[in-house]
């Protein structure tokens, strides 16, 4: 019997056809599995990993459920509600004092020692949240993470300063740079065309200023800070990244200005002033104060000019956070680092 007889050729042809069908089915299964699993990819600063617990839509990463009770917003009449109104009702005047960064708060003893060595300052600014979204106080808001620092000691320091009622307390909060919130609520982040979240040079994800959940989160932080005794909140870096890699419709400057106005309106009635850091002229229109950072005295005039048209009194409403001793800063509010960098 010949191996390549007509009958054997027919059998080989059938076998080849069966193998091709099986291979096609396996290929389609693997491709479908790959496409399905791709929906669960989560991009973090440590790389890429699978998260099978998230629920995703076909077009965008869908945020995990955000419940209004997570961010309780109760508008209370300042008088009827018994909220402290002294600081907010006081006339605006130039601020002087110190600022305390998250790096300084890694050593609370050093902060306390530094405070003991200076005269009682008029004002103190605390960085209460890092650019990654870690809180430097005990927040009661749902889903928040505290930083790797002595949080109980920081809580005690804030409480003591608030009770003394001699120092004007300011809390500085990065507005839209928050990797923790972005990863937990991915549809609130700024997306790339691939559907992944855009990340800045610091490895931080940024939030969409016009997203209602983002605004509710910031309002809830400010309300909590008011209860802790802070007189003013600064939403810092109140801008949108200019990267062309971000998929975003609409004018980014107008979006940020609208977000500033919305936050200001939602916080009306709380005993806390609302200010913005790195503000544009449009954002400054919604600010009690504008906080600017530079160590170059030559930048003072141009930075003030950029926001002055929206302010009634630039001398009292512009605050520079700087380590510089240049006298050109003295015409405005001025906060210097509590602990000087000796490097």
Domain ranges of the chain: 68-337
Q: What pLDDT is attached to residue 284? A: 97
Q: Give the confidence band of 41 by pLDDT, cuts at 50, 70, 90.
A: low
Q: Is residue 270 packed enough to be buried (19+ CB in 10 Å), middle (13-18) or exposed (0-12)?
A: buried
* 266/270 Cα distance (integer angstroms): 9
- Kindly report, residue by residue over 190-237, the tens digit of the pLDDT: 999 999 999 999 999 999 999 999 999 999 999 999 999 999 999 999
Contacts of 279 (CB under 8 A, 6+ apart): 238, 260, 287, 290, 291, 307
Least confident of 64-78, 172-186, 314-328: 64-78
Farthest CA pair distance, the chain: 109
CA 224 distance to own-chain centroid = 16
> Helix, strand, coil % (nearest 5) of the chain?
40, 20, 45
What element of type H or E holds 29? helix 6-38
161-190: per-residue pLDDT in tens?
Answer: 999 888 999 999 999 999 999 999 999 999
CA dist 88 and 101 (Å) reads 24
Number of H helices, E strands in the chain: 10, 12
pTM (predicted TM-score): 0.76
Convert the pLDDT of each residue in 116-164 to its tens digit.
999 999 999 999 999 999 999 999 999 999 999 999 999 999 999 999 8
What are the pLDDT digits (tens) for 284-309?
999 999 999 999 999 999 999 999 99
| Coil/strand/helix, residue 143 | coil
**What burial letters (b/e) apply to 194-211, b meaning 16+ CB within 10 Å?**
ebbbbbeeeebbbbbbbb
pLDDT at 174: 97
Closest among 157, 155, 128, 134 to 146, alpha carbons compared: 134
Dihedral angle, C-alpha 112, 114, 117, 123, nearest 10 °: -90
Give just the sign of the alpha carbon dihedral 197, 199, 205, 210. Answer: negative
Q: Tell me what pLDDT residue 36 has.
A: 59
Q: How confident is the model at residue 82 (pLDDT cuts 50, 70, 90)?
A: very low
Contact 291, 321 (CB under 8 A): yes
Architecture of domain 68-337: Alpha-Beta Barrel (3.20)
Residue 77, pLDDT score: 47
pLDDT higher than threshold 90 for residue 83:
no
Q: Mapping DSSP to helix (H, G, I), strand (E, B) and coil, where does residue 114 land? A: helix
Structure tokens at 208: 């969409």
């Amino acid at each position: 019997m010949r191996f390549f007889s007509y009958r054997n050729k027919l059998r080989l042809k059938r076998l080849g056809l069966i193998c091709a069908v099986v291979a096609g089915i396996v290929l389609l299964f693997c491709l479908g599995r790959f496409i399905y699993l791709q929906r669960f990819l989560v991009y973090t600063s440590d790389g890429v990993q699978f998260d099978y617990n998230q629920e995703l839509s076909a077009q965008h990463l869908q945020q995990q459920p955000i419940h209004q009770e997570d961010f309780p917003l109760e508008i209370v009449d300042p008088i009827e509600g018994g909220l402290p109104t002294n600081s907010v009702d006081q006339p605006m005047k130039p601020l002087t004092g110190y600022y305390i960064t998250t790096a300084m708060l890694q050593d609370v003893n050093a902060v306390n020692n530094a405070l003991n060595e200076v005269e009682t300052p008029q004002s103190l600014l605390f960085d209460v949240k890092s650019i990654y979204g870690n809180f430097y106080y005990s927040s009661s808001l749902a889903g928040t993470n505290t930083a790797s620092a002595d949080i109980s000691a920081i809580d005690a320091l804030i409480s003591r300063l608030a009770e003394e009622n001699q120092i004007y307390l300011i809390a500085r909060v990065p507005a839209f740079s928050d990797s923790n919130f972005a990863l937990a609520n991915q549809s609130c982040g700024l997306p790339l065309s691939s559907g992944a979240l855009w990340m800045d040079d610091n490895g931080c994800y940024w939030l969409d200023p016009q997203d209602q959940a983002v605004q509710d989160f910031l309002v809830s932080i400010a309300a909590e800070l008011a209860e802790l005794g802070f007189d003013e909140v600064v939403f810092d870096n109140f801008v949108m990244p200019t990267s062309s890699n971000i998929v975003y419709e609409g004018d980014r400057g107008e979006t940020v200005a609208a977000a500033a106005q919305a936050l200001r309106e939602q916080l009306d009635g709380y005993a806390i002033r609302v200010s913005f850091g790195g503000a544009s002229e449009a954002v400054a229109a919604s600010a009690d104060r504008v906080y600017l950072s530079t160590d170059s005295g030559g930048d003072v005039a141009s930075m003030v000019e950029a926001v002055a048209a929206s302010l009634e009194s630039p001398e009292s409403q512009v605050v520079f956070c700087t380590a510089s001793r240049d006298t050109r800063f003295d015409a405005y509010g001025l906060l210097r680092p509590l602990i000087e960098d000796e490097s």
